[in-house]
Structure 1
């Protein structure tokens, strides 16, 4: 529902949707997603490369981006940028000031509007990162090591807390295990 709302309810529909998709697929913090350069994604798509390297703004740690899961979204988004005549060095430019990228505050306002439209109150700029992390965790058979690595966290404990896995969640997962 969030993705549909991002595609249907805003002027910069394709940009907002693609930010969310890239955030989920890369598990980057919103500050790092906003600062991605358009040239980097074009090079990855044109050269059939699948990874790029950045340094996380918050931690300064090296991070590998794998964009293949959102390659189609990025292609559609680049076409949208051309149709909108949006020329910018930024992958996600501001519609008002294309020489600048969209700010975290502006994306927060977009997510708050999505909350209003959907009648919920729990979305924020970190939703895409947490959603991506939780999906990787559950769809990889609870491979916490993979999620720790993708989030660029320093410990499993930090990642489990980040995912919000409390005792009730762990017990629910354990109930699904056949201990024979």
Structure 2
């Protein structure tokens, strides 16, 4: 009888954990709930989701980023591609592959420059500086932090400069 109760409790607990929803997987943006999908908004959603997931599940960051990147390339959406490149930099940075992180952060920086997206260009420059710092290339790191500061000073009403100063 005691074994049966323990098995029943284990079964109930496993059922609770299997069907529990943290909200992350059931979230659907408004543009998906009514059945229509605007591709640009969907790509932005995927990239944003990838960015939000990096602290809790970096593999999900990779999944959403590659999905956003494929669609962006198919429909030639430059901002979607730039955000995906930056997210890939984040993925490889967290995974410890600093050379790949630099590659993608730099590609993202170039894409943001082409889009004239100064705030994200500053962020990408700061990310590059942080990676060089992790690689113990301090002079190069300081060079990129200074570049990020100089780019950030040109921004108006943007909080990215405070993040650069903090880092």
**Alignment TM class, shorter chain as reference:** under 0.3
Q: TM-score, normalised by structure 1?
A: 0.26
Structure with more of its chain in strand, by fraction: 1
Greater fraction helix = 2
Q: Find the structure with the greater CA-based Rg.
A: 2
TM normalised by structure 2 equals 0.27
Higher relative contact order (CA 8 A, sep 6+): 1
